[in-house]
Amino acid sequence: MTTQKQLEHLLEQQAKARLGGGQDKIDKQHAQGRLTARERIEMLLDPGSFEEFDMFKTHRCRNFGMEKSVYPGDGVVTGHGTVGGRIVYVYAQDFTVLGGSLSETMAEKICKLLDLAMKNGAPLVGLNDSGGARIQEGIESLAGFSDIFLRNVMASGVVPQISAILGPCAGGAVYSPALTDFIVMERKNSYMFLTGPKVVKSVCHEDVTVEELGGADMHSSQSGVSDYAAESTADAIAYIKRLLTFIPQNNLESAPVLPCADPVDRPSDALRTLIPDNANMAYDMKRVILETVDNGDFFEIKENFAPNLIVGFARYNGVSVGIVANQPGYLSGVLDIDSSVKGARFVRFCDCFNIPLVTFVDVPGFLPGTVQEYGGAIRNGAKILYAYAEATVPKITVITRKAYGGAYCVMSSKHLRGDINYAWPSAEVAVMGSRGAVEVLYSRQARDSGDAKAFLAEKEEEYHEAVSNPYVAAERGYIDDIIVPANTRARIIKALALTRNKRDQNPAKKHGNIPL
Ligand code: HXC
């Protein structure tokens, strides 16, 4: 029989563990506007659903007086619960315990979660707030980090992995989040970098603030390391919860299908007049997305990084899809290094987790110039090409206007196993724009004509009539149908229904060699 005394002892031990590094450390955390590990977990999970593992596990370090700094559970809270009724494994580093620094014991706790997440097929969410490797432990801590990295890699493509950065994340510690599928960073309180401003100053003679070097805004707009810069912990956690609604639990399942009240055949007359008469004028591709998806509800990923390509999740008739779309409203929607990498990573995530892809195309080509070429535009542009080519999920494509050159091939074309490829009547499928084409073809004749400008204008008109339309591609079957823009939603929903049971395979191999 369990005695009353034993029960009281258990409650005492639990209460002690829940205090982490102590009330004074909790107060300090709160004074800085930061929540504790357990408060963050409570915010993420359905009320009352959290069950903790390894609450009494302690570190084994006896160096540097560490035997006097032993805290039950050590510097990370781990366990599982539900988000919207679906199981999620979660860990939250506890900054109140030795700055959340990673001990061998903490690594074991996180590895246990990753093993369970993989075995049982449920996502892992990591809430990071840590001073990095526990300095007193040295190699044990480094070994622990490496054990986590290995499992992050093994879990990649098996279960979704999501990281929130809610405090410091520096040194090699950044690589665990970097190996996960999505990173959300909290503005002001969080940063990620390999070495801090002091080392940067001494090695590179650069003066830089923590925020400039590794803040949420920088990583969400310049480096592309982070998918979202959250205003607060609550905002970061709300983002993760919403993200989870669009994705399946693991690579053997499909994302949940939600009931849809938005009529499947709802026409959108606004789409008829969206494309400007002048082919060189911009418009906002997000309007096409918002007009066609269920209830105008679009969840954008990496909104502030490479905005010339839009990626994110939405639903058509309740079915979760990944949307990739050129944005003519930014740099004319051109593909460059950053947008290619952004698109490739997103396409590969969707393909890992059985999420169909819907691609909206209006792209004038790849961005030329030395900056791009020196930066490896060839190597990086090949990534999005590779990603679309290897993807076996349903791929639905709508060309709204330009689909020029190599960028036509890349953007989910028929040739890369696009399943259903539509074009609007305004589509121009060509090797390049009319002006560029006639300048290459007729420069000598233009010079000889006496009025080069008029000659080229006439030839441009001719070329446009002959080539820059969707009919030549449709004649060859590279476009399955030319559709009325207002009916785009209905046609995408039909195409998704048609491809719902699609099964496609790549040749057996150890793994491909995506250009890196
Ligand atoms: C042990 C650490 C620690 C660490 C912080 N603490 N980092 N203990 N190992 N890495 C302890 C502090 O001693 C302090 O203990 C408590 O955590 C809170 O730290 P403070 O410095 O008081 O907090 P704050 O002023 O907010 O500064 C936070 C910080 C700073 C910026 C993270 O603590 C810091 O610079 N820490 C060292 C970071 C670092 O160099 N880590 C190693 C990176 S290399 P008390 O008892 O006073 O409360 C690395 C390699 C990983 O991580 C490689 C993986 C492959």
The finding on whether 173 has its CB within 6 A of some atom of ligand 1 is yes
Tell me how far the alpha carbon of residue 512 lies from the centroid of ligand 1, in angstroms. 39
Rounded Cα distance between 51 and 78, Å, is: 9
CB count in 10 Å sphere of residue 202: 10
Distance 164 CA to ligand 1 centre (A): 19
**356 compared with 435, residue with greater pLDDT:** 356
Mutate to test the pocket of ligand 1, among 68, 135, 151, 165 (most ligand atoms within 8 A of CB): 135
Task: Report the residue among 34, 64, 96, 98 best suited for mutation to probe ligand 1: largest number of ligand atoms under 8 A from its CB.
Answer: 98
pLDDT beyond 90 at 468: no
Largest CA distance in the chain: 106
Among residues 246, 281, 316, the one where a domain terminates is 246
Q: What pLDDT is stored for residue 146 in this prediction? A: 97
142 lines ligand 1 (CB under 6 A): yes
Place of tokens 């091939």: 409
The parent domain of residue 291 ranges over 269-427+469-498
Question: Does 106 sit in the ligand 1 pocket, CB within 6 Å?
Answer: no
pLDDT in tens, 179-205: 999 999 999 999 999 999 999 999 999
Please give the positions annotated as active site: 171-172, 406-407
Clarify whether residues 216 and 96 are in a common domain.
Answer: yes
Same domain as 128, residue 41: yes
Q: Over 90: is that where the pLDDT of 171 sits?
A: no
Please tell me whether residues 191 and 178 are part of one structural domain: yes
Question: Do residue 202 and residue 93 come from a single domain?
Answer: yes
Distances (CA, A) of 23 to 92, 228, 454: 18, 32, 81
Main-chain dihedrals φ then ψ at residue 265, nearest 5 degrees: -105, 20
Residue 322 has a pLDDT of: 98
Q: What distance in Å separates the CA atoms of residue 268 and residue 287, rounded to the nearest whole number?
A: 11
Residue 467 confidence (pLDDT): 82
Contacts of 321 (CB under 8 A, 6+ apart): 313, 314, 315, 355, 356, 357, 358, 496
Residue located nearest, by CA, to atom 25 of ligand 1: 99
Q: Whose CA is nearest to atom 41 of ligand 1?
A: 132
The answer to whether residue 95 is domain-embedded is yes
**How sure is the predictor about 38, in pLDDT bands with cuts at 50, 70 and 90?**
very high
In which band, very low, low, confident or very high, does the pLDDT at 88 lie, cut at 50, 70 and 90?
Answer: very high
Relative to beta strand 51-53, strand 298-301 is unpaired
**DSSP classification of residue 136:** T
DSSP-derived pairing of the beta strands 168-170 and 182-186: unpaired
Ligand 1 pocket member 131 (CB < 6 A): yes
Q: Quote the CA–CA distance of 509 and 489 in Å, as a whole number.
A: 37
8 contacts: CB under 8 Å, gap ≥ 6: none
- The reported pLDDT for the residue numbered 360 is 98
Indicate whether 103 belongs to any domain.
Answer: yes
- Average of per-residue pLDDT across 41-45: 98
Task: Mark whether 451 and 378 lie in a shared domain.
Answer: no
**What per-residue confidence (pLDDT) applies to 436?**
86
> 465 and 386 in contact (C-beta within 8 Å)?
no
pLDDT at residue 433, as a whole number:
83
pLDDT for 268 beyond 90: yes
Whether the CB of 171 sits within 6 Å of ligand 1: yes
In terms of domains, do 373 and 458 share one? Answer: no
**165 Cβ below 6 A of ligand 1:** no
Q: Does the beta carbon of 216 sit less than 6 angstroms from any atom of ligand 1?
A: no
Say what angle helices 377-390 and 337-352 make with each other, to 10 degrees.
20
Q: Is the per-residue pLDDT at 29 higher than 90?
A: yes
Can you tell me which atom of ligand 1 is nearest the CA of 168?
Answer: 32
Q: How far is the CA of 130 from the centre of ligand 1 (A)?
A: 7
Is any atom of ligand 1 closer than 6 Å to the C-beta of 214? no
What is the arithmetic mean of pLDDT over 102-124?
98
pLDDT beyond 90 at 379: yes
In a domain, 514, yes or no: no
What is the C-alpha separation between 163 and 113, in angstroms, rounded? 14
From its phi and psi, is residue 336 left (phi > 0), alpha (psi between -120 and 50) or beta? beta
- Residue 464 has a pLDDT of 84
CA distance 328 to 334: 8
Domain identity same for 61 and 210: yes
pLDDT at 190 (0 to 100): 96
For residue 307, the one-letter residue type is: P
Per-residue confidence band for 172, with pLDDT thresholds at 50, 70 and 90: confident
Q: Which atom of ligand 1 lies closest to the CA of 25?
A: 48
Is residue 253 situated within a structural domain?
A: no
309-322 pLDDT, tens digit each: 999 999 999 999 99
pLDDT of res. 417: 98
Q: Is residue 255 part of a domain?
A: no
Same domain, 228 and 93: yes
Residue of 409, 457, 411 whose CA lies nearest to 434: 457
pLDDT band, residue 92 (cuts 50/70/90): very high
User: How many Å lie between the centroid of ligand 1 and the Cα of residue 78?
Assistant: 20
Question: What confidence tier does 279 reach under pLDDT thresholds 50, 70, 90?
Answer: confident
Instruction: Indicate the average pLDDT of the chain.
Output: 96
How many Å lie between the centroid of ligand 1 and the Cα of residue 131? 4
Determine the Cα angle at 490 with ends 323 and 278, to 5°. Answer: 70
Report the nearest-CA residue for atom 35 of ligand 1: 131
Mean pLDDT of 162-167: 98
Compute how many other C-beta atoms are within 10 angstroms of the C-beta atom of residue 356. Answer: 26
Q: Is the pLDDT of residue 502 over 90?
A: yes
pLDDT of 213 above 90:
yes
Q: Does any domain span residue 119?
A: yes
Task: Check if the beta carbon of residue 105 is closer than 8 Å to that of residue 65.
Answer: no
Q: Does residue 216 share a domain with residue 160?
A: yes
Number of domains in the chain: 3
pLDDT category of residue 280 using cuts at 50, 70 and 90: confident
Radius of gyration of the chain (CA): 26
Is 192 touching ligand 1 by the criterion CB < 6 Å?
no
CB atoms within 10 A of CB 399: 28
Q: Which residues contact 270 (CB under 8 A, 6 or more apart)?
A: 287, 291
Let me know if residue 307 belongs to a domain: yes
Nearest to 114 by CA among 82, 63, 73, 153: 153
Residues 436 and 478 in one domain: no
Residue-wise pLDDT tens digits, 222-256:
999 999 999 999 999 999 999 999 999 999 999 99
Considering the domain architecture, whether residues 227 and 82 belong to the same structural domain is answered as: yes
pLDDT (tens digit, 9 = 90+) per residue, 289-313? 999 999 999 999 999 999 999 999 9
Site of tokens 């330009």: 402
Domain final residue pick, 188, 211, 246 = 246
* Domain contains 264: no
Query: Residue 465 has what pLDDT?
Result: 84
Phi, psi of 437 (to 5 degrees): -65, -45
Phi first, then psi: give them for residue 73, nearest 5 degrees: 90, -15
Same domain, yes or no: 180 and 276: no
CATH number of the domain bearing residue 129: 3.90.226.10
pLDDT band at 432 (very low <50, low <70, confident <90, very high): confident
Q: What per-residue confidence (pLDDT) applies to 238?
A: 98
